[in-house]
Amino acid sequence: MKPPPDSSQDTRQRLLEAAVLLFAQKGFDGVGIREISQKAQANSALVQYYFGSKEGLYLAAMSFLFDQGIDSVAALPAPPSLDEPEAFAKALDCLKGYIHAFLEELFACHDPAKCSRELQSAAHLFWTRELMEPAAGRVDIILGHVRPYADYLAACIRVLRPDLAEDAQFLMGSSIHAQIMFFHRDMSMISLLRGSAYGPQDVGTLATHISDFSLRGLGLGNTLQGVQ
Amino acid sequence: MKPPPDSSQDTRQRLLEAAVLLFAQKGFDGVGIREISQKAQANSALVQYYFGSKEGLYLAAMSFLFDQGIDSVAALPAPPSLDEPEAFAKALDCLKGYIHAFLEELFACHDPAKCSRELQSAAHLFWTRELMEPAAGRVDIILGHVRPYADYLAACIRVLRPDLAEDAQFLMGSSIHAQIMFFHRDMSMISLLRGSAYGPQDVGTLATHISDFSLRGLGLGNTLQGVQ
DNA sequence: TTAGGTTAATCAATCGATTGATTGAGTCAA
DNA sequence: TTGACTCAATCAATCGATTGATTAACCTAA
């Protein structure tokens, strides 16, 4: 009947979440296990107890993020296959939806409020860091995280531009992903250059721009109305 | 007649270059001054002597990179103004040239050979790092480095799409810069996804793709021949 | 029910190593 | 001699990691 005193796994969880947040903010070398355990209100020795080492904690944080993965892509309608009826129109919708969903995910809730998405926001910072220099040995986890995104987009493009070689299709997908991530990654620099940053309230604007720009880029400008 | 014993400024220089290389590779927290001075074949105390502190060395490295700036943008023909004759055609050439030059800069010479561009290559890694989280106090230097790039591209777009509002023009420029930098930043991830990385030998291919994709994206698809 | 034993979980204290920084003596050309 | 330069030695602070002790919950034989 009494309130359960921190069941053991709760402490482990707090350590994991604190690790995600701080590793995302400052990188592996930027935080110490003391700072992490302080934020988690736990003893620093528990890092070794639960995860073996600081690197173990980092790996666990990655796996943790991967497991409770952000399902915005999984939640999207499956992209059509080539022989499907109305495949083209469906792929078009999928592509637009994907761009919007990905952007929304990236810009999700930067509120100080105890939003459950605080972790999500940090998660993408975390992945962005790891993406730039994938340490050997962690490659599988990162690929597992990234692959669904790449595959979804590739599937759309395969239907939209079946005439292109696979190489060319890959380039197209890269151009689209580049834009989506740019507005999130380079938020600070954009803010410096144009005076103000893009925020969650701009996701619609950004998604529309990227969609229009990319559909024209894909050579599908004729399917857009009202644009030169 | 005897070999000149490291003139003082030479040691300082070696420290600076070693700092650029290592900071670029591992980030500020990833390297110690001992490792830096060892690579520079200098005493670690000289970091404090010449630069005051580790952070001073980091700042000096940034300024150093900024000063001996990579002039590929400055070397390009100035983008035309709106009222200039044949402004459109010139802007088109400038844009294409810019994309190619920027890409070539990013992919410049990864050879182990003592290529003077080894620094250049590290430089962009350095800037990429700093771009993601511009530390207060260093903002001016970074802006000074980035501004010419942003301005050049903006000038081109202003001529190519004078009908667009400034906001929309900024979005266009962002979409283009996003692509250029993506293929460099996410080299490792691209390599994992498609099996092999893009290298200096692919600059032409990439530049052509980005140019074509972006010109269509800009709504100038009609100026391209042979593409749907 | 109770006493004794086992376990996982947590803690403060401490380890050796490494960090950035400081010192004071030394070198050498001017 | 002076002043710019360089060095080995050393500083306090912090790093990740280890230790032994403590706690609380559970299990089991009496």
The model's pLDDT over B135-144, given as tens digits with 9 standing for 90+, comes to 777 888 889 8
- Strand C: list positions under 7 Å from protein Cβ: 8-13, 18-24, 29
A113 vs A85: CA distance, rounded Å = 46
- In this prediction, residues A186-195 reach a mean pLDDT of 93
pLDDT tens string A191-212: 999 999 999 999 999 999 999 9
- In this prediction, residues A160-184 reach a mean pLDDT of 97
Whether A111 shows a pLDDT value over 80: the answer reads no
**Nearest residue by alpha-carbon distance to C1' of C22:** B45
Q: CA of B167 to nearest chain A CA: how many angstroms apart? A: 9
At residue A117, the pLDDT reads 66
Least confident of A61-65, A136-140, B40-44, B221-225: B221-225
Name the token pair of A46: 């528990």
Give me the percent of chain A exceeding a pLDDT of 70: 89
**Nearest residue by alpha-carbon distance to C1' of C23:** B45
Whether B72 shows a pLDDT value over 80: the answer reads no
Q: Which B residues in the span 22-51 are in contact with A, Cβ-Cβ below 8 Å? A: 26-27, 29-30
pLDDT category at A1 given cuts 50, 70, 90 is very low
Which residues are CB-neighbours of B116 under 8 A, at least 6 positions away?
Answer: none
- Kindly give the residue spans of alpha helices, DSSP state H, lying in A40-165: 45-51, 54-67, 87-106, 118-132, 139-160
Residue that is written with structure tokens 């999928």 in the block = A94
Nucleotide nearest to B31 (CA to C1'): C19
Average pLDDT across chain B, whole number = 87
At residue A5, the pLDDT reads 40
Which residues are CB-neighbours of A104 under 8 A, at least 6 positions away?
Answer: A72, A200, A203, A207
Q: What are phi and psi of B71, to 5 degrees?
A: -95, 15
> In this structure, are residues B80 and B90 in contact, taking their beta carbons and an 8 Å threshold?
yes
A36 touches strand D (CB under 7 A): no
Name the token pair of A43: 């003893």
Closest CA to B66 of B120, B129, B1, B102: B120
Name the token pair of A177: 């992903």
Give me the percent of chain B exceeding a pLDDT of 70: 88
Whether A227 shows a pLDDT value over 60: the answer reads no
Angle between helices B87-106 and B166-185 (to 10 degrees): 30
Least confident of A90-99, A103-112, B136-145, B154-163: A103-112
Whether B162 shows a pLDDT value over 50: the answer reads yes
Return the number of other C-beta atoms located less than 10 Å from residue A96's C-beta.
18
Higher pLDDT, B134 or B223: B134
Q: CA of B10 to nearest chain A CA: how many angstroms apart? A: 31
A133 to chain B: closest CA residue = B188
Q: What is the pTM of this model?
A: 0.89
At residue B113, the pLDDT reads 45
- In this prediction, residues A155-161 reach a mean pLDDT of 97
At residue B115, the pLDDT reads 47
- In this prediction, residues B47-68 reach a mean pLDDT of 92
pLDDT category at A226 given cuts 50, 70, 90 is very low
Average pLDDT across chain A, whole number = 87
Cβ pair B213:A172 closer than 8 A: yes
Whether A165 shows a pLDDT value over 90: the answer reads yes
